[in-house]
Structure formats: structure tokens, C-alpha cells
A and B are shown apart, each in its own frame.
Chain A
Amino acid sequence: MAEIVSLAEAVERAIRDGDAVAMEGFTHLIPFAAGHEVIRQRRRDLTLIRMTPDLIYDQLIGAGCTRKLIFSWGGNPGVGSLHRFRDAVENAWPVPLEIEEHSHAGMANRYVAGASGLPFAVLRGYNGTGLETLNRAPTIRPITCPFTGETLTAVAALRPDVAVIHAQRADRTGNVQLWGITGVQREAVLASARSVVTVEEIVDDLDPRPGAVVLPGWTVTFVAPAPGGAHPSYALGYSARDNDYYVAWDAIARDRDTFTRWLSDQVYAVPAGPP
């Protein structure tokens, strides 16, 4: 059964230095509040896993929390580059960043394998691409179909230590409900050893929603209320995407000093939120 705790306590108890952490949410329901709490608690040497690193990982990379990034598309959607990510890859600032990169289909299938308790997943993909031949990608291998003899691609399962997601709501026993673009969050939670779910609100009853994903409370480790915790992404039914923030981030992240000031004013100086 999920424990309902504060965000600070959830991060404190679920995430350790050196953990592999998957903070998912495909452009919608991105767990920014939880990411900021990880920065505040100064976790180090994390392997961060996420299909679209987005601003949340730009911030965690720039804050020096990250040793390795496993991803498939690292940009500021609709705006341009992730400058902290680029600075880490191109100039090793503030610390060197190891990368392991995939396609979206590959990452999605790696989570599916992890959630399914399998060591790998199979797809038609990567053939002829540079991703397939990278020495640093021992997670992509050809495999022969035992039935047809066809050569397909195997990708290694992702088994993160911790999944972190944001959802619209949970009930008092920790059952979690999310809807709209649900991305790869269910797979990320089921693939991980532990999980932290931040929610817009905790309610008495989860009335049905079309297309909703429900994660039963016994599949979740911690639920923490964090209203607005997806900002500047959004929570369908609760908030709209703050497009201006995504645009403004470009200038903040472009420069190390501006970024460092942002970190100190907007993350370190901010309390963790409601207990």
C-alpha cells in the first residue's frame, strides 16, 4: 500500500545517491516539483532516465545531480536546445555526463520489458542507424526470430531504482489516476523497484475518467500531494502548459551564471511545499 507523505519525505526516503531514476511524463504531467526537491536535497551521481529530458533534466544536469543520462530526445520542445544538457556533453560542465541514447520506440519498449519482468524487448528498429553501431550502446543487439528467421532488434530492459511521476489525483489509500496523454508512466512505475507519485490532489473517491490509467496503490511506494507540481508542463483538467516559461528558459539556461542564479533563487531558496 502506498504511503501518503510529504514530497520532501518521499524524495528523502525513495531516492539515494547513485540511483537510476526515471522521471517520466511525455510533455504532459512532468514531475517538476519532485525534480526540484531532488536538486534541493543535493542528490548526486544519479543515472537519469527519460524519453524526453525536457527542462526538468536540463535543470537536474545543470545542478550537478547527474552522472549519466539515458534518453531519446533532448530538446526544449518547440523552442530549441537544452543548453545545460549541451554544456554537460560538449564541455563537461558542471560535471561530465555519460550518455546512452535510443529512439523513442526503443526507450518505450525498454520500459515495457522492465514492466513485463523480461530481460529485453523486440522491435523493428535501429537497422542501419548510427545508434545501432555505437560502442556505448550495448543495450541494442540484433536478434533472430525463432519462428521466421527474420532479424529484428532486441533492446535491454530498463529496471530503474525509482520511478517519479506526476498524476492528477490519488485516493486516500494511494490508488493513483492520470488521464490525457499518459505517455509511458505506467510502464515506468511497474519497471521500477520504488516509485514516487506526486498528485494535484488527494480525493475520497476516484470517479471514472475516459482513457484514465489507474495505478493501484499497492504498485506505488509513496504518494505526495504537490498541487501545480507539473508546472511549467501541465496537468490536463487542472492547469495549462506555461509556454512562456519554456521560451524564457532558453535565455536562462544559455548562460552558466544566469542558470546558477535561477537555481539559487527558484529552487534552493524555495521551501519544499506543503508537509
Chain B
Amino acid sequence: MTYTADEMMTVAAARALRDGMTCFVGIGLPSSAANLARATHAPSLVLIYESGTIGAKPGRLPLSIGDGMLAETADAVVSVPEIFNYWLQPGRIDVGFLGAAQIDKFGNINTTVIGGDYGNPKVRLPGAGGAPEITASCREVIVVVRQNHRSFVERVDFVTSVGYGAGRGDRERLGLTGAGPKKIITDLGVLEPDPETLEFTMTGLYPGVSASAATERTGWDLAIAADPEIIAAPTPAELDALRRFQGSHARSHQ
């Protein structure tokens, strides 16, 4: 079966979630991947959205974090102060699953402004939403983002959410309780932090993606593992489940 780079990315991201985990889900690519995981290998994955829906079981891709279907299928619906204070902040949630506009080699995320300065930006992005506290407090974080020169930068223009700051020791110094970003999953492959420096290193590539392609599409001097894993192509079952979800998503937008 042929597949697109985005489909490969979504499948790889879904595989990063284990059955039974609790997952705080951002909208967009992370939500597609988390729902794919629940529809395939992780039926007991607990999806938590910042709208206060805990244990949502959507039958199609939610169009926003407040999609009515999330509330109707949830185990519990709580208020917004409660979802952040009682559920996220104490570190109850296994994995935060986020997107990014810009990300740097230490996994810091920018979704606030690009170019110029804060008061006079070239591009005004939506802002923080729940991400700063998700990256601070979930036990670990996985970021799903397309890899190119705009998104993969040496230093983010604005630190909306802290990954590893300027490197080893920064999360501890800042009092961030979660372990931080463990994986960045892109349309080329997977990056993981170097165990010593915490700089993100390309440790996996999709079939047909060369190391030089990954280097070319990264705005910093990208480290590539000596023997990067070649990640398995999507199975027909994974593609089928993903396309079923996305078909229903497209139909509900018509």
C-alpha cells in the first residue's frame, strides 16, 4: 500500500503510545495519532483533553478540543480549572502529546510569535494554550511536528513551553516535575534526546528517507545516530484505520 509522509508520521506517533496509558492530547496531529492508537493497538488508552473531558472515546476525529462528542463519550467531564489543577499539575498523566510551530534542539517549543520581537512580531501565532503546563507536569512528552527549516530551528524565537531549556540540569533547576520531551516524531523519522547532552538526535528514519534529507531539513547541525533504526512502514491495518478516521473528519467538514 502506498502512503504519504504525513500518514507515516501519524502512524509512528500512534505507535509511541502504549495501551493503558493516560494521555493529555493536543488538537491536530497529536489528536489524530492518539485516536489512531486507541483504534488499533491501544484500546484502553485514556484520552484527556484540556476542555475537561477525561477518558473520551470519540468515534471520529474531534474537530476541536471541545467537540461535543468528547463530552458525550467521556468517563468524566470536569471544569477547566479542575483539569489543570487536579489532573495535570500533580503529575497524574503519563504522556503529554503535543504539536509545535517551532522546536529547537533541546525540545523547547514556540507557539507564540515568529520573527521581529514580541511587541512587533512578523507572525503572531495562537499562543500557549495548555502546553506550558503539559510539558512541565506530564510524566513525559511526545511532540509531533513536520520537520523543515521553519519548524526545526537552532533556538526558538520565543520559549512558550520548556523542553530541556539550555541543556542538562535546566528542568531540575526550574522545578519542572515531569521528565520532559522523550520523542519528536516528524514526517522524516524520530528524534530522541542524547542521554548525555539532551540534544535531540535523529534515532529513526522512515523507509526511503536518507540521513542527508533529515540534515537538510533541520535548522541546526543535526546529530544522527550511528545506526538509525529504519522504522517499519504503516501496515494495511494501520492505514485503513487512519483513513477511516480521516474520511469521517473530511465528511464532517463538508
Chain A positions within 8 Å of B, measured between CB atoms, are 26-28, 51-52, 71-75, 77-78, 81-82, 85-86, 89-90, 101-105, 108-109, 111-112, 123-131, 134, 136, 150-151, 180-184, 186-187, 211, 213, 233-234, 236, 240-241, 243-244, 246-247
Contacts and interface: CB of A to CB of B under 8 A. Distances in A.
B160 A104 contact: no
A184 B84 CA distance: 11
B100 interface: no
Contact of A103 (B72, B122, B131, B176): B131
B9 interface: no
A215 to B, nearest CB: 13
Contacts of A71: 127
A124 to B, nearest CB: 6
A61 B153 CA distance: 32
A111 B81 contact: yes
A120 to B, nearest CB: 14
A183 B159 contact: no
Given A77-B27, A105-B88, A184-B80, A27 B175 contact: no
A28 B66 contact: yes
B128 A101 contact: yes
B85 interface: yes
A128 B51 contact: no
B132 A123 contact: no
A82 B124 CA distance: 10
Contacts of B63: 77-78, 241, 243, 246
Secondary structure of the B side of the interface? loop
Nearest to B126: A75
A234 B68 contact: yes
Contact of A26 (B66, B124, B177, B254): B66
Contacts of A186: 79
A78 B66 CA distance: 10
Nearest to B162: A128
B77 interface: yes
Given A73-B130, A236-B68, 13 more contacts: A28-B71, A73-B126, A74-B127, A90-B124, A103-B129, A104-B84, A123-B85, A128-B176, A181-B53, A183-B80, A211-B77, A234-B68, A240-B68
A236 B254 CA distance: 21
Contact of B133 (A104, A183, A241): A104
Contacts, number: 175
Interface of B: 27-28, 50-53, 63-68, 70-72, 77, 79-81, 84-85, 88-89, 112, 118-119, 121-133, 136-137, 158-162, 165, 170, 174-177, 252-254
Contacts of A182: 52, 77, 79
A123 B89 contact: yes
Contacts of B65: 27, 77
Contacts of B165: 128
The binding surface of chain A is classed by DSSP as: loop
B68 A241 contact: yes
Given A27-B65, A134-B118, A124 B177 contact: yes
Given A127-B174, A182-B52, A73 B77 contact: no
B176 A78 contact: no
B133 A130 contact: no
B128 A72 contact: yes
8 contacts: A78-B28, A105-B130, A108-B80, A112-B81, A128-B162, A130-B159, A131-B112, A211-B77
A128 B159 contact: yes
A248 to B, nearest CB: 10
B176 A86 contact: no
Nearest to A30: B66
Contacts of A127: 136, 162, 174-176
Contacts of A126: 132
Given A27-B64, A103-B132, A181 B51 contact: yes
A224 to B, nearest CB: 23
